[in-house]
Structure 1
Amino acid sequence: MSNPPTDDRPTAIPDDEVLSPERIADPHPYFAALRTHDPVHWNEQYRAWFIHRYDHVLDALRDDRFSSERIRPAYDRLTEEQRAQRQPTYDVLMDWLVFRDPPDHTRLRRLVSRAFTPRAVEAWRARVVEVVDELIDGLATRSGFDLIEDFAYPIPAVVIAEMMGVPADDRDRFKDWSDDVMILVFGARGVGDRRARAQQGLIELAAYLGELVDHYRRRPADNIISNLVEATEGDDALADPEIVANCVLFLFGGHETTTNLIGNGMRVLLGHPDQLARLRAEPGLIKPAVEEILRFDGPSKMEVRTLVDAVEMGDKTLPAGDMVYLVQHAANRDPEVFAEPDRFDITREPNHHIGFGFGLHFCLGASVARLEGTIALDALVRRLPNLELGPEPEVWVPTMLSRGLEHLPVSLT
């Protein structure tokens, strides 16, 4: 696998560390510098290409030479000893539809997507409103709280668990499992035992979901697991390992994406009081406000691909076999596409962001995240007009692919 020399790296880019503390807190200046000076950037530290311009990222998301199947190649590179140790992790991740290319991806998505039709998602609106209002009822009389722990996390945790058919008494168990899986999938830093922790979480979660699949096969109900068990097209149906693996994906993705959308969104609104005042005066702007949050500081920072063939991009040749990071955060602030891209504007129109990806791998749960995020942020803005950022420091989760807060202290003045 050939790679370009690194001695011509632009002087405007001091180093290749994506996960330095200052870049975890605010990655946008770093991405902007790369987008300007070296938009197709070979990162020596991570031994991968980082793509920063909107048109390049969009081209890559449309191009089947940028493969999503990064789990099987990673497994094939392992030694026999490593395979024996990590087999349970790969058994689950290799069946995630987000890590498959056509025709496998086409088949899985066709069967799985029936659980996420617009009608099926909209049917949960009343329950989401109920969950949000109950949480705000409990927070409104307090002097302050952690917006993530006390509000943004519980909403998707309750909703996705109910959508899956998880009994209420078991919901709290998913937080630990989800946190463990996130460490591995999103590339967290500074967790020495992350593989062991993530694998143990996957083993326990997969075993639990396997029991639920058996239960709902015998006693079908109105939930996602039952829909997946019953999903057929001709003679084709999902195998139990495929159902379990993609339920892990839904539970994990349902937690992380929506939690980060709500947390990032409220932080951005509180940091832009003019836009927050506009939204309070015109609550009908909540939907474009959510879209602008997804563009300005959305929950997905970048996506990963592996090149199955050489690609010419910009003035570079990207060899087959190289790993590529498609930096959505940089693309969504590209001045060639968005006027005044560093300005947060809830009335921005048009707003062709790619915060949920694009094309074949457009986020399957985007409609659920939008529903929950819109309802949650609208309720916070309407019902807690005295909400402010708290005096304690915010804490970001140090991951490569996602953008989210671990803690966001707020006060009610």
Structure 2
Amino acid sequence: MTTVAPKFSILSEDFARNPYPYFPMLRQETPVHYEPDIDSYFLSRYQDVRRVLTEHEAFTSKTLTVRAEPVMRGPVLAQMTGAEHTAKRKIVVRGFTGAALKDQVRAIHANAEELIAPFLGRGQVDLVNDFGKPFAVYVTLDVLGLDKNDWRQVAAWHHGVAEFITSITLTDERRRHCLQCAEQLEAYLVPIIEQRRTEPGDDLISRLRTAEFDGIAMSTRDVTALIINILAAATEPADKTLAMLFHHLIDRPETMAQVRKDPELLPAAIAETLRFTPPVHLIPRQVKQDTEFSGTVVPAGSTVFCMIGAANRDPEAFTDPDTFDIHRADLGTARSFTAAAQHLAFGTGLHQCVGAAFARAEIETVAAMLLPLLQDARYSAGYTYQESGLYTRGPLSLDLDFTPVAGGVPGRD
């Protein structure tokens, strides 16, 4: 891959437009890149990023007190350690695994069918805005036991929360807007949480509200923060990864044909999508004491941003890393949604994404359903592919034409 001149800013428009050509230069020439405007360091080498994400005592999540807690309305899982983290994470993970996950797979399929059905006869769909974004929110609301009729409003509030967390810089006006979104989302959730305390159901809110930590029931504030945490963790990867998967397969007809012919290759295609174009590109941590990375000392108390996209394309970790290859020997498909994954799309270590198993169920279920439905999928005439996002990243849209399906979803009653 062609590299670019070293004099640039990660905060620049050029980098935001297309960060991938910058990754080799960063790893080779400035693996510890300093941005004076935000007094932060950016790490791009795989070994440095993995080190930060796995050594949680030396590299703390204290930055989230400022970056996340104001809009999460309380501490989030990534801020917790010790017995509190273990207990609360276990409660949340239980809501995304085992029997609960089997029920969710049925809900995932039903929601996907409902959302894609209106487009099948037309032979046209924007896989991001028509399908992916509403789908991710629909499914998360199902898991939480919230009314799907509220999805547009919840999505708008969530967008403000996500903007606060993922923006490197915010104007005062946008900051106020984001905080207002968080306050309105909290006001919406609190009465529901209180009701589930006395009238619990089978949903995740009920499980959280009736669970105990250290013999004490979690407060409404605790549960609110965890629910907003789950909204972010469950919705962000799904729509972005699904759209990226189809983007890569459409760009590579031979690979698309292989996956269509052998559906068992689909998990590998998803894993390679997560490596090649992860939905989360930056993970912040705070350095507890002066620490050397790749020959540069980062002072104690500094914020470091782990560049997941750059680390996932490090030739020290992956062979021919700038090539999308679902057959690569170093992919580790079977463990790609676990803390043992070779890629770092879901983080790793203590604070690996709590929604990884759920994301796997979402993406695999929906991709397996859509691939045979979107026959001859291709970009619509006049469509130009464009990504956005520095912290989280995905296509702005994915306008596709395909062979129309007569009568809607095959086999649907």
Whether 1:224 and 2:214 are equivalent positions in the alignment is: no
Residue 162 (structure 1) shift? 0.8
Alignment of structure 1 residues 170-249 onto 2, 5 Å? 170-187=150-167, 193-249=173-229
Task: State the Cα distance separating 1:348 from its structure 2 match.
Answer: 2.5
**Counterpart Cα distance in 1 of 2:12 and 2:95:** 36
Aligned twin of 1:66: 59
Root-mean-square deviation (CA, aligned residues, Å) is 2.3
**Where do 1:111-190 residues align within 5 Å?**
111-187=91-167
Q: Distance in 1 between matches of 2:193 and 2:83?
A: 25
| Deviation of 1:368 (Å) | 1.0
In the alignment, does 2:19 pair up with 1:40? no
**What does residue 250 of structure 1 align with?**
230
More displaced, 186-195 or 123-132?
A: 186-195
Give the aligned residue type for 1:249: N
Tell me which residue corresponds to 1:394.
Answer: 385
289-298 vs 98-107, greater mean Cα deviation: 98-107
Give, in whole Å, the separation in 2 of the partners of 1:104 and 1:148. Answer: 37
1:366 is aligned, of 350, 356, 362, to 356
**Which amino acid letter does the alignment assign opposite residue 384 of structure 1?**
L
Q: Distance in 2 between matches of 1:329 and 1:161?
A: 29
Paired residue type of 1:17: I
The residue type equivalent to 2:15 in the other structure is R
Q: Deviation per CA, 1:263-318, whole angstroms, max 9, x where unpaired?
A: 22221221222211111111111111111111010101120011121112210111
Q: 1:411 pairs with 387, 401, 408, which one?
A: 401
Inter-partner Cα distance in structure 1 for 2:395 and 2:12 = 14
Secondary structure of the structure 1 residue equivalent to 2:396: strand
| Contact 1:299-1:404 at 8 Å conserved across structures | yes
The answer for the alignment partner of 2:335 in structure 1 is none
The TM-score normalised by the length of structure 2 is 0.88
- Distance across 2 between alignment mates of 1:93 and 1:234: 22
Please tell me the residue identity of whatever aligns with 2:22: Y
CA distance in 2, matches of 1:215, 1:227: 12
Shift of 1:113: 2.8
Q: Percent identity?
A: 28
User: By how many angstroms is 1:394 displaced?
Assistant: 3.4
Gapped regions of structure 2 (runs ≥ 5): 332-341, 404-413
The change in CA–CA distance for 1:226 and 1:49 in structure 2 (over 3 A counts) is same
Find the counterpart in structure 2 of residue 385 from structure 1: 375
Q: Would the aligned equivalents of 1:310 and 1:318 in 2 still touch at CA under 8 Å?
A: yes
Is the contact made by 1:121 and 1:368 (CA closer than 8 Å) also made in structure 2? Answer: yes
SS in structure 2 at match of 1:109:
helix
Whole-Å separation in 2 of the counterparts to 1:386 and 1:126: 27
Once the two structures are superposed, residues 124-164 of structure 1 have per-residue CA deviations (whole angstroms, 9 ceiling, x without a partner) of 11221222223332211224222111111122211110110
Structure 1 position 51 matched with structure 2 position 43:
yes
Match of 2:406 in 1: none
1:58 to 1:129, Cα distance in 2 relative to 1, 3 A = same
1:99 aligns with 2:91: no
What runs of 5+ residues in structure 1 fail to find an aligned partner? Answer: 1-9, 76-87
